[in-house]
Structure 1
């Protein structure tokens, strides 16, 4: 309905236009003649923000829906019925030329002006009945980057040697050192290298 030119569709219910999503009626004009036949047909004319709709009063299934998307021109022209609103549809929709008699002339002129304005608004910002929402702009890489904060840890290397030095500095030794009795532990242990004490190693580990 937003894009297609429709004839004899289910547009009317209880004499009211069945609105599409996001559609609003701007004007409803009674007593409008459709000049598609020699005698004309009296009906009701709806002007919305999406389309123009006309239906016959005697038979509302005799109707036409003209979306702004398919309108090529909107003009006032002279006819055998007098001045009339003439709407020409696009070639894509069939190239129809439809005439409508709106009285008085002042109302005709006001309606043409309103329809032209709505047509321009629709052309600038088409409505297709679908709501959309712009996604929030993703955060930049700089905003997502967390600055690494170094722990404020002070390493005191003066009081005791590094424990790893004690354990691995002598990794290439050819044989074990002689065992000695440790009074602190109450058992025999391998003799420590010069400069290392059990107390010092325990302080490193604690």
Structure 2
């Protein structure tokens, strides 16, 4: 290569590096994020019981504009165990407004992989402009479920929900994993076990879903 050609290449390469670094800085300082990755950790109930010590849960959320795609990959879970995933207001009890997102079931090696499509962003919220009749599908039964369906909803202004919580699908499965006993309403028929994992590694009002802009 002739000297002047080599020098030009070095100048162009330096200019490209400056552009690349500048672009990275712009992304780093932007308040708009269309993708995030974070971990769920053992819930307070799991820590208190000393269970799920080897659990590792990685979550990625990618905005598609109209919806977000959330993928959860977990390992170190109790094998062949069913869990229920909720989007929640705060990560610890009393959890606040919560909505049932779907199931996450581990296999014979304690791995679980789930993909969920919905609104998992700064716009995630619940609202009830007024009270209205609600269908009662499940009633409280002392030996089955302590909490049944409400027949009406309370009026509430918009409440954002930016956290995730994962519950054992049953008290029996929680106890088999060495976790605490107790029946909670966090599954389809309100007979779930205790919370297993959550995003309590984030502040109450700064849950990981909040960083995503649609």
Same fold (TM over 0.5): no
Give the TM-score normalised by the residue count of structure 1.
Answer: 0.23
Bigger Rg, structure 1 or 2: 1
Q: Which has the higher contact order (CA 8 A, sep 6+)?
A: 2
TM-score by length of 2: 0.23
